[in-house]
């Protein structure tokens, strides 16, 4: 298959620690939705990655 792009979860940012099961990626627990957006945007820029909202409390950062 030509030019398959491999992606992986670089980080998880959430306001609800109880929603996260397992591991494998760093998890950032933040206090509110404003911090959720701010931390996600920062990680997206720093890691040159893409942020994807899973639900209103959780965003994953996907390495490209």
Count structural domains, the chain.
1
% the chain with pLDDT above 70: 97
27 belongs to a structural domain: yes
1 belongs to a structural domain: no
Q: How many residues would you count in the chain?
A: 64
26 belongs to a structural domain: yes
If one counts every other C-beta atom within 10 angstroms of the C-beta of residue 9, the result is 14
pTM of the model: 0.86
Digit-coded pLDDT (tens) for 32-46: 999 999 999 999 999
Domain with 36, as residue range(s), is 8-63
Question: What's the mean per-residue pLDDT of the chain?
Answer: 93
Lowest mean pLDDT among 8-12, 17-21, 47-51: 17-21
The residue-averaged pLDDT of 7-14 equals: 95
């Amino acid at each position: 298959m030509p030019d398959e792009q491999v992606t992986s979860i670089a980080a998880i940012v959430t306001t609800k620690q109880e929603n996260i099961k397992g591991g494998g990626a760093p998890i950032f627990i933040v206090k509110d939705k404003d911090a959720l957006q701010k931390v996600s945007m920062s990680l997206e820029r720093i890691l040159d990655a893409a942020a994807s909202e899973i639900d209103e409390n959780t965003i994953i950062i996907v390495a490209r």
